[in-house]
Each structure stands twice: as structure tokens, then as C-alpha cells.
Amino acid sequence: MRVAAQVVYYTRSHPGNNHRGRIVRAGRARPVALKQKDPSTISAQSPNIIPRGEHGISRSLISPNALKVLNRLHQAGFQACLVGGGVRDLLLGREPKDFDVATDATPEQIRQQFRNCRLIGRRFRLAHVLFGREVIEVATFRAASDPETEDEDETQVSDAGRLLRDNAYGSIEEDAWRRDFTVNALYYDISDFSIRDYVGGMEDLRAGRLRIIGEPEARFREDPVRMLRAVRFAAKLGFTLDPELQALIPQLAPLLQDIAPARLYEEVLKLFHGGVALNTFEMLRHYHLFAPLFPLTEAVLAEEENHFPHTLISHALANTDSRVAEGKPVTPAFIFAALLWEPMRREMPDPDQPDMSEIQAIQIGGARVVTQQARHVSIPKRFSLPMREIWSLQPRFLRRQGRRALQLLEHPRFRAAYDFLLLRCAAGEVEQELCDWWTEIQDQAPEARAERVAAGRPRKRRRPRRRKPRSEHG
């Protein structure tokens, strides 16, 4: 789908509703002046309006449930627009992952319009309209940050410049300047099916350029996760980061250390489950963003020999990308197992010491690594436990004789552990012959499997029969 090259410019006034959201105060933070666009000048900006006939977005390409939300808000007298990645992806001819709506209705007013609505969040107050498994996220237009007049109940900024809460509502023009990247600040207006561009997003979309809205350093300090989003979007869309971002991100990368590990876990899933995990990984390392997320792994990569463990990680991420492209499921446990395998091996005790097996050593090393990693990116137990099982099963692949080999084939984690064994083989850590053996035996019938593992089993020596002692009178 081609993006229309012609853009029509005209001025259209939008008074907007400056609703002021109220939330319960949960601590104070001293406001810090951020270099934002002057709020008093935003409403005077003339948006670029791309009429319906000059862009490629059709309502047939939009989720029917998102259209229901847009139309009902519009019919109720509110301004309602599709915004964000959904608009961006439709213009690029991609299938959107989700559809987000922005409106001048407050969260409480949105809830009045939809019985299937729930309000979430304290840092950012949002409405979720539920349609079975599909969730349409609806956000109220946000006002530009103005430290001179802001109410601490509505907007709070930390000493480092990080935005702690943002529930000051404003107009669509102000909302556009509050968004992160220009290509994510395009609005599809349901009232006339036009696209509204307040920040030059269409130009950047055509140029394949990722540019942040406002003063970059202030925006990254406001929310350091935006640096991860910049890399994720650049890798996903094949865009080039604006030169100013390329120079700034490595300098500000340490700010990620102040972000909650649970939030970074969610961001890591987005980074590595988007179908371009390998390219994303290389970009994270290039811009020094990988070290704050996985410092133990980064330390190992800095000392790698013969491209190991970099090769293992690269194979794991490439495998993940292939599965995403084929529509197959992927599990975070497998990615974390690859990322932390070598750090775990460095943390495990010597398995040759007395009363210590290799499996026990792996279990101890795994516990140590999970504890240390949780300080940076948390790993829920539903994934850390399978990850450690994948590791613990690796020594069992060396045992190819007897009942234990057959039991391993029936283990619930066998397939994931086997796939991990193949990665180790591709990285040159284990012999190809070992992987070939386990590959072949999976395709054999149960009887043939039993014969094959029995063939290598040492024959039991028959105990000599004890003779009864002869009787003296025998």
C-alpha cells in the first residue's frame, strides 16, 4: 500500500475540552522543568489534513470492534480518533497488532458509554472496552506538560525528570505533542475519515525515519523506556533512527537502571517476540541498551571466545523469528534460557567435586543467576522454572543407554530441552553426532527405540551359582 504523496494543508479550529483528571495522591515529587513545546502555542498550530481520498486507510481494514467504539463516541458528541501503531501500520500496508482510540471524553464519560468498559491505571488513566478476547484501549487526550501550573494530583515528575503520573487532560493538538514518536502521532478521525498530522509524522513515515517529539533528552528522561521503544520500532519497521537519537541513546542508556524490573520484563517480551529479535538484539548492543537489561550476559559477551556464546544467542533469536513468521508459539523461557545459559555456567559450582553431580551444579548456578537477573529484568516463575528445567536436562542427553534415555523422551520439557541442545550443537558446544542420535530416535517406533537403547546397555554378568558344600559322609 502506497502512502499518498500529496498532502492538503488548511487550518481548522478545535477548541477541545480541557478536562482535569483527579486521582488519589500517592506521594509527592518535586517538579522538574522539561523542555516541552509551549502549551500556549500548540492550539495555534495548523494540522496537516490528509483527506480520505489521499491515504490508503479503509474502514474494512479496521477492527469492527474499534469502529464500534469510534462511532459510538462520535455519535455521543465526542471527538474520536484511531491513533498510534494501528494508523502507522495501516499506512505502511502492515496488519496492525491492535487498535487504540483517543478521545476528548474523560475515562468516566467513556465508561458511561460502554457497559463492557473498565478503567485501569494510576500513572496513566485508561479505559479498556472489552469485546471477548479483544480489548480496545481508549485514552483521553492529554495536556502538554507545564511545570509552572501543573497540579501534583494530576502530573508528577521525579528529580531525574521521569514522569510519575500524567492525568492532565487536554485537546487533540496537545495530545499529539505528548506522544513519543512522530510516526505514532497520526490520528484517523472517524468524523470525516481523514488523517490529522500535527508533528510531521507523515513526512517521517515516507522517509523511513524515527524521530521523537519534543526535546529528545527531556523525553527520554521523562520515560527511559522510550529508548527501548525507539530500537524496537526501528528494527520492526526497518526505519533509521534520527541522528540526534543515535548520539543520545548510548549516553542515557544507564537511566534504564531506575525502571522497575517487572516493567522491563514486559518490554523485553515486546523486543524479542516481534519477529525481528535478532536485529533488535544487535541494535540493543550497538546503542548500549542491552547491558542495563542483562548485565551478566553482556559481561560474558565482552569476553566471548570463538564467537561463543554470541553464536548460541544469535541462533536462539533467529529460531524465534522463524517461529513467529510461521505463526508458531514462542515461549519466553526458551529465550531467557539462551540469554542466561553462559552466565549460569559461570555461576555453577565445580561438578567434579565430591558429592556434586552436574545436574546439581546446574540447579545451584541457575538459582544464583535468576536471583541476580531479577534485580534488572524480572522473570516470572512460570518461565524461570521451565528455563531451569531446560538447563537441568542437558546432561541427561549424554546418557543414551538404558531406561533413563527412554524416560527422557517422555519428559514434559523434552522438546524444549532438545531444541536447546540443537542450539548448543550449532554453536559448537556439543558434538553433531549426539544431536543426530536424539533426532533419529524420536522418529522410531517404541519397539525400535527400546532395541536401540538396549543395544548399548552392558550385559549383566550372571552370578555364579554357589555350590552346596560336600558332606563329609557324602
Tell me the catalytic residues.
98, 100, 180
Contact 235, 210 (CB under 8 A): no
Contact 341, 391 (CB under 8 A): yes
Q: Is 51 in a helix, a strand, or coil?
A: coil
Angle at 417 between CA 416 and CA 421, to 5 degrees: 120
Question: Residue 60, Cα to own-chain centre: how many angstroms?
Answer: 28
Omega within 30 of 0 (cis) for the link into 309: yes
- Which CA distances in Å does 336 have to 45, 341, 390? 47, 8, 11
- What's the length of the chain? 474
Name every residue whose Cβ is closer than 8 Å to that of residue 107 and which is 6 or more positions away in sequence. 21, 119, 125, 126, 127, 140
Q: Is 198 in a helix, a strand, or coil?
A: coil
Interatomic CA distance for residues 285 and 263, integer angstroms: 20
Burial, 60: exposed, middle or buried (Cβ in 10 Å; 0-12, 13-18, 19+)? exposed
Q: What does the buried/exposed string (b/e) look like for 432-462 if buried means 16 or more CB atoms within 10 Å of the residue's CB?
A: eeebeebeebeeeeeeebeebbeeeeeeeee
